[in-house]
Amino acid sequence: MGIDDIKIIKWNADASYGAHEDFQCHTGSVMSMRTGALQAGSRKQKLNTRSSTEAELVGVDDVMAKILWTKLFIEEQGYEVKRNILFQDNKSSILLETNGRNSTGKRSRHINIRYFFVAH
């Protein structure tokens, strides 16, 4: 493990759509500050989703508490966090998280408003 700059936190979040026998999805996340995982998590999502895009949104929402808590924890230790970066691999989810409801279309209107928390 190693840290380049304590002011930059990098997160990777990913969801696997319909991964379980009951068709629920699975979310994984990793936090790094250079090499090695300083924090990692993997868990089954608590609800069924209708698409891989929605599964990714639910996954990011599940990880968001860790992302915010870690930032606040580091700041309480007396360090400044300049960038708290989240990496994802689903273009549709990235657009929804960036633009919020402005990116919704006919196929994504059913997504609950709570998942647009990431956009703010």
Distances (CA, A) of 10 to 2, 50, 80, 85, 96: 13, 28, 15, 5, 20
**What does the pLDDT look like over 31-77, one tens digit per residue?**
988 778 888 988 988 887 777 878 888 888 888 889 999 999 999 99
Span 2-119: which CATH code?
A: 3.30.420
CB proximity list for 44: less than 8 A, separation 6 or greater: 20, 24, 25, 26, 27
Mean pLDDT of the chain: 81
3-state secondary structure 59-104: HHHHHHHHHHHHHHHHHHCCCCCCEEEEECCCHHHHHHHHHHHHHC
- Domains of the chain, by residue range, sit at 2-119
